Structure 1
Amino acid sequence: MPSDTPQDPAGPPGHGPGRPATTAAAPASPGFLADLRDALSLRALLLVVGVLVLQLGFILSYIGAFHAPKPHRIPAAVVAPARVTRQLTAQLNALPGTPFRARSVATEQQARSLILNRDVDAAIVVDPRGTDDRLLVASAGGPSVSTVTTQIAQRIEVGKRRRVTVVDLRPPNPQDGRGLSSFYLVVGWMVGGYLAAAILGTAGGARPANLHRTFIRLGALVPYAIVSGLGGALIAGTVLGALPGHFAALWGIGTLLVFAVAATTVALQVLLGMAGIGVAILVFVVLGNPSAGGAYPTTLLPPFWRAIGPWLPPGAGTTTVRNTVYFTAHHTTGPLWVLGVYAAAGILVSVAASAFHLHRVRLKRGRDGTRPATG
């Protein structure tokens, strides 16, 4: 029965009148070299080279910092009779490599206070009435320093047939092993901070589309930092019992540290694009971790790592946590200022760099004759 619907005499696409349907031919392959150029673009190659540099830098930084730790100007006190004090202090300060920076103090009680206040790391107390001297240390402040100090002190001759007994004024908590929990807690907080900022940058673009989004991104990192600080304090203090008794202080330190690292990572992304993530890893992981004073305190590190450690968030955070837990928060003001500066600088640089970038985009669109972005 004939249809009432008009028919296209040419038939459906790909069909001629009276010809069977044919399948459209697949497009020809562009070739291996074209695929190679497309898969390995210049940008991809530069990113891979950047990863290689970070990898080799990681190896260099960690092995360079830890392969041959040597004591350097470890602050120490000497308590001894007047006739011995000057000689022993001079002997300590004249040791090859300058492992000690010794000074004399009047009493053992004063030496103990200096150690617990983190003004010195060790003290040698000479017994004027016997042959048993004491080396006072606080291994919670760095077990490696205490070990090295003990080894050196036992080789020093302060008289004939004298013995040195080590007295640990502040050992780590039983659940804190070698006193490294402070360092590992800070590393966990730090990794979370830069990864959270990196994920937001990857999902929404390294450079936010407008200033509102810059403030939103920074604002979103505040509750993350609060929850991260809370979780770290709960795990280290309550759950594992490694750093007990300072829950509120650890929560606050963790919140500041996480936000400082995250805000700095945002600033680096706004300045450098996705390469800013690599710079953050360079600063916080490649350089920051080995110089933080965790496995080896700064007095045992080579000059470069010893110099940069206190000025980077891992070092400032480790010192703050360790001194808060074990030494009643002595010498934490400086490290807290370091973290505060990173947090404030991260905010200011993020906003300023975003505003500058958006201004450049508007100027470029104006020159191109397109409508300026309203952001």
Structure 2
Amino acid sequence: MATVATPDGAPPGDSLRKSGLVVVALTALAVTLLLAFALPAIHSGARGVPIGVVAPAGQAEQVGQQVPGVDVTTYADPRAAREAILDREVYGAVVIEDDGSVETLVASAASPPAAAVVEQIGAGVAATTGAEATVTDLRAFPDDDPRGVGLSAGALPLALGGWIAAVVILLVVHTPVFRVLTALGFAVVGGFAMTATLRFVTGTFDDAYLLTSLGATLGIAATSVAVLGLRSLLGGAGIAIAAVALILLGNPLSGLSSAPEMLPSPWGAIGQLLPPGATGSLLRSLAFFDGAGALQPLVVLSCWLAGGAVLYAIALRRERGDADAAAPEPGDRTAVAGAHG
């Protein structure tokens, strides 16, 4: 009895086995993506959230006991606490006056969930003393986007946009120099366009358009050039590594919807070493805090940009070496004849 082959020439059993493996692999990928995005949100909570306290002697230690998972720094006066908040050293501060009244200082633009933790502590302190509690938001999101949803939602477009851009550039642009120029051109145009969207459409930003656009440009350039380098040097494996770093890990660990200190340790810190988290932190610092806290994300993104450029240069050098090795030597009549044959 003859075996009926499929159009690709493989026996039906082999095709069925391949189909089954594809289904299992795709299901595993879907579940992995679900867990990567869901678990950080489910297990989000205060884990070493830095806060400040201004209180009479003996009361500062009691403040940190109101809510677990915070690191308390004592400041001499409210002015010092305000400066620490605006310098992004702490997410907020609880100020206890000599008469027992409580003022909670926050900067919700740094992280609405972290600000809520500080407000909860302030309310708890006021409840124990029976005093009045007030909340002062030193730097809030604009009224059009009071929770900063636009910034939180921007992590995935930044990561996915840079990844897709690099893949498209490799498929469409074939000249090495123009591939880099295209990636950088997309970074500039895309950075300014995305920042314009966050400012003029969603209302997430209200100031520093030029600085935030330059920050977004750096983030997109770091992402696209890194993918360009990984793909050029490692082929398909490079694309997979980039997808894991940027999408599977980078987006859910960015901390943009909460704060790095509210993600399970050490994932929050790892997320800040990946482009989505670093770009989000950089934009937050530039848009709301006059650049305070921008140094680390600047260094991280510069390293990704430089690393991608180095990988791309190594890949080009290897390709040129292979081409030179394959080229016939001058005077090699056999090679020349073979080439014309």
Q: TM (normalized to structure 1)?
A: 0.77
**What does residue 44 of structure 2 align with?**
69
**Residues 272 and 240 (structure 1), Cα distance of their counterparts in 2 relative to 1, 3 Å cut:** same
Secondary structure at 2:109 match in 1:
helix
CA contact (8 A) 1:78 1:103 kept: yes
What are the equivalent positions in structure 2 for 1:65-144 lying under 5 Å apart?
Answer: 65-81=40-56, 83=57, 87-93=58-64, 97=68, 99-129=69-99, 131-144=100-113
Cα 1:232/1:151, change in 2 over 3 Å: same
Query: Which aligned pairs between 1:155-174 and structure 2 lie closer than 5 A?
Result: 155-156=124-125, 160-174=129-143
Would you say the 8 A contact 1:65–1:302 is kept in 2?
yes
1:48 and 1:249, CA in 2 relative to 1: closer, same or farther beyond 3 A?
farther
**Cα offset, 1:180, TM superposition:** 2.8
User: Which secondary structure state, in structure 2, belongs to the residue aligned with residue 311 of structure 1?
Assistant: coil
Aligned ranges 1:230-269 → 2 under 5 Å: 230-269=192-231
Residue 259 to residue 70, structure 1, CA distance change in 2 (3 Å) = same
CA distance change for structure 1 residues 276 and 62 in 2, over 3 Å: closer, same or farther? same
Partner of residue 334, structure 1: 296
8 A contact 1:114–1:120 mirrored in 2: yes
Structure 1 unaligned segments of length 5 or more: list them: 1-27
SS of residue paired to 1:330: coil
Tell me the distance in 1 between the aligned counterparts of 2:18 and 2:309: 29
1:155-194 → structure 2 map (5 Å cutoff): 155-156=124-125, 160-194=129-163
Preserved CA contact (<8 Å) 1:181 1:236: yes
- Code of the residue aligned with 1:265 in structure 2: it is V
Contact 1:292/1:309 (CA < 8 Å) preserved in 2?
yes
Contact kept, 8 Å, 1:50 with 1:278, in 2: the verdict is: no
- Is contact 1:54–1:286 with CA below 8 Å preserved after alignment? no
1:228–1:40 distance in 2 versus 1, CA, 3 Å: farther
Runs (5+) with no aligned partner, structure 2: 329-333
Take 2:335 and 2:259, find their aligned partners in 1: how far apart are those partners? 58
CA shift for structure 1 position 61: 1.5
1:126 Cα deviation after fit: 0.6
How far 1:36 sits from its partner (Å)?
A: 4.8
Determine the structure 2 residue equivalent to 1:8: none
Q: CA RMSD in A?
A: 3.3
Shift of 1:60: 1.7
Distance 1:157 1:249, change over 3 A: closer
Question: What's the TM-score, normalizing by structure 2?
Answer: 0.84
Counting aligned pairs with the same residue, the percent is 26
Q: Could you say if the C-alpha distance between residues 334 and 237 of structure 1 is closer, same or farther in structure 2, counting changes exceeding 3 Å?
A: same
The structure having more radius of gyration, on CA atoms, is 1
- 1:229 maps to 191
Counterparts in 2 of 1:114 and 1:198: CA distance versus 1, 3 Å: same
Give the aligned length.
Answer: 331
* d(CA) in 1 for partners of 2:270, 2:21: 28
State the 1:51 CA deviation. 5.0
Deviating more after overlay: 347-356 vs 135-144: 347-356
3-state SS of paired residue (1:141): coil
